[in-house]
Amino acid sequence: MFPRSISLRSTQKRLTVAGVVGTSAALLLGLMSGTASATPVPDNPVPYGQGHMGVGYIQDGKDFKPDTRQLHLGAQSDASLKANPEGIDVSGWQGSINWSSVRSAGIEFSWMKATEGLTYKDSTFSANYVNAYNAGVIRGAYHFARPDVSGGAAQADFFASNGGAWSRDNLTLPGVLDIEGSCYGYSQASMRQWVLDFYNTYKARTGRDVVIYTSPSWWNTCTGGWSGMSALTPLWVAHWTSAANPTIPAGFPSWTVWQYSATGSVSGVAGDVDRDRFNGDRSRLLALANNTA
């Protein structure tokens, strides 16, 4: 399934989903007793608590064109770095991170996992959030969506109360809804409503439009290429490719952030790390952080 050039650590991390393809919904829901279950039966769930950006991307598969290069920040031109700030996204999979080294390597922004579903909190979030801030990395939090656990509004509330808040301090980005991999048995109309409920609650709690992280295949399949969020939310598209530009989901006119690789290398992070690019210069990145025109 994977080219040999993709590292073992990355393969093990991403294959979390492949290992649970045969897991029964009954077993999963039994392990999660006490959570809301009046939702459609999940069709291919990630084990609860193990979600992270990209875990569903290989499962989804239709967009997956592996970039076999080992990407280093120094391989890009100075002009490219100035025009399109580089970022990373992280979770507990990366372990302890030296954020001063990350910033010195030229990384300007990062989103880090804060929550998942209705109860799970990433154990590395607090350290990452504070240490990235102290190192001068413009950072934000993300929530791994679990429509099999509860409705979107409840998860937005949980996220906003556990890392997803926002303040205008020149270093805090709006929160991200990470939704990928499985349609969880939802119809396209029901999934659209789930996303809209999350958006409305997050907006009411923080005053910010949530960023949506997804892949073209997921969005097109699970929402029907819905255009209802295009005027409300910045798009963070997952498309791991060496192409000059990503493919974006139907329903969105453009991308704001592009996750272009899962096998990047950055000083201060042990092993592979997801690499991201911002669609604009640093002034636009700061405008997104500070909610200015």
Q: Which residues are catalytic?
A: 89, 178, 180
d(CA 290, CA 169): 7
d(CA 209, CA 256): 13
d(CA 42, CA 229): 24
Q: Minimal CA–CA distance to 213: which of 243, 175, 186, 265?
A: 175
d(CA 221, CA 249): 10
**160 phi and psi angles, rounded to 5 deg:** -60, -30
282 burial type by CB count under 10 A (0-12 exposed, 13-18 middle, 19+ buried): middle
Distances (CA, A) of 225 to 135, 152, 166, 189, 248: 39, 19, 29, 11, 10
d(CA 94, CA 293): 34
Alpha-carbon torsion 267, 273, 278, 279, what sign? Answer: positive
d(CA 19, CA 15): 6
Q: Minimal CA–CA distance to 189: which of 145, 217, 223?
A: 223
Cα-only R_g, the chain: 18
